[in-house]
Amino acid sequence: MRHETGCAGGEEPSVRTARQGGRRRGGRDHPPGRARGGSDAPAQDGVARRGRGRDGALGRFAGALSRADRNNRGDQGRHKLRPPFLTGYVIDASVFIAGLVEEDQTQTARALLIDAEVSGAVAPGHVLLEVMNGLLMKERRGFIDRAYREEALNRFLGYGLRLDTARQPGAAHRRTMDLADRHGLTVYDAAYLELAQREGLVLGSLDKALRRAALALGVDIAPR
C-alpha cells in the first residue's frame, strides 16, 4: 500500500495504526452504562436507551464483530498470508453512525462493518470527529441519551480501524479540494473519495452524493 497510518491527535490508542498491525479487534461487550446521575431508572422524555445491554443495538453490533474477529483469527493460514497493513475498504462516518444508532439502514451498515473489519478498514483522520459529532447530534435531537452516546463512542473506538496519513499530504489535499469542486461535495466527504481512489479501495458510504461521485470516477462502492 502507499499510505501510512496514525491515530488522530495521538490520543486514541484503541483506533489502531498500521504500525501496530496484527489481529483486528472486534467490539467487546461492556457492562450496560448508567443514565445521567448514576440512576438505572428509565430515560425520560422518550429518549432511546436501547443497545445498553447484550440484546440491544450496541450489544448485537459488538457481538457480531467479536464473532467475525474470532473467525478471522481462527483461519491461521489465511491470516499469516495477509500483510498487517492490507486494507480493503474506506469507511465513512455515515456507515459508523448507522451501525451504532438504530435507523433504516442499520442492518446494512452493520453487515458492511463486519466485512470491512475482517478485510481491513481505513479512513481519513477526521472520521473520529465526524462520528463524535454525529452521535452528539443524535443525542441533542432526542434519539439517544448521554450514556448511550458514550457507549456508542466506545464501540467505535474499539473497532479495528486504521487512520490514513498520505505520504504527500499537500498533493492529497489538492486532490481532495478538486474532487469537492468537481462533484459538489464537502471537503470532509471528498477526503474519503480521494483516499479510496488513491489506494484503489472500496468506498463504504451511505451518503448519496458521495456514492454518485465515486461511481462517476469508477470507484467501487459498498453497499451496492
pLDDT per residue of the chain (224 residues) written in tens, 0 to 9: 444 444 444 444 344 433 333 344 344 344 433 333 443 433 334 444 444 443 455 655 665 555 544 444 444 333 333 344 455 999 999 999 999 999 999 999 999 999 999 999 999 999 999 999 999 999 999 999 999 999 999 999 999 999 998 888 899 999 999 999 999 999 999 999 999 999 999 999 999 999 999 999 999 999 98
In contact, 72 and 24? CB cutoff 8 Å: yes
Length in residues, the chain: 224
C-alpha span between 31 and 15 (Å, rounded): 21
The owner of cell 491461521 is 76
In contact, 112 and 95? CB cutoff 8 Å: yes
The architecture (CATH level 2) of 4-37+48-222 comes to 3-Layer(aba) Sandwich (3.40)
CB atoms within 10 A of CB 8: 16
89-91 vs 221-222, strand pairing mode? unpaired
| Total-model pTM | 0.67
Q: Where are the beta strands (DSSP E) in the chain?
A: 4-5, 89-91, 121-124, 161-165, 202-204, 221-222
40 is an annotated ligand-binding site residue: no
92 is an annotated ligand-binding site residue: yes
Cis peptide before 223 (omega within 30 of 0): yes
Could you tell me how far CA 196 lies from the centroid of its own chain? Answer: 14
The owner of cell 502507499 is 2
Spatial CB neighbours of 67, under 8 Å, sequence gap ≥ 6: 26
